[in-house]
Structure 1
Amino acid sequence: MVLDDRAVQKNGWMLCIASDITSLRAHGRTVRQDRDQAIKASYTDELTGVANRRFVMARVDDMLATASTETTDVLPSSTSTISKHQ
């Protein structure tokens, strides 16, 4: 917290101004909930609630992007030779 020297009086008194932001926080929560509901609605069928094509295609794109960035270690195949005992 930064205090402005001009806010402190010579006799030591300080003027403080406070604002109640409770309603702003509640509004922010409502906005987040509305956003979450809109995202869910865009990915599900309204009648059945089942994932729609947009959701499936987004997941496929995510999986392909993940697969293209991952490197897979390929183990060398072990070739075993069978020797006949004479």
Structure 2
Amino acid sequence: MKIYEYKAGKVNIKHIKDYAFSSNKYKLMKDIHNLLLSISLISIALSVVIALSIISVMIYGTSILLSVFIDAVSIFSSFGVITFFWSRYKRDVSV
């Protein structure tokens, strides 16, 4: 398995063994940490929004438009979280 690393305008191709077992193990841990952090934050945000939409339907009864609005806000906020972490990751890689 090969890993393509972009740094300082160049693409370096490394084998997974060279990448994982090099002296700089911090890079691999940072990549895994950023990936798991973004996945966990998105799943937490979506579960909170689903709970809020269920509560709003229970409280307001027939207000389906409110539920659709809350779901739309959750989808756009999850895209915002993905964009934020992607830009943060790209900034870390370009350094």
TM-score scaled by structure 2? 0.35
Greater Rg by CA: 1
Q: Which has the higher strand share?
A: 2
Larger helix share, 1 or 2: 2
What is the TM-score with the length of structure 1 in the denominator? 0.38
Higher relative contact order (CA 8 A, sep 6+): 2
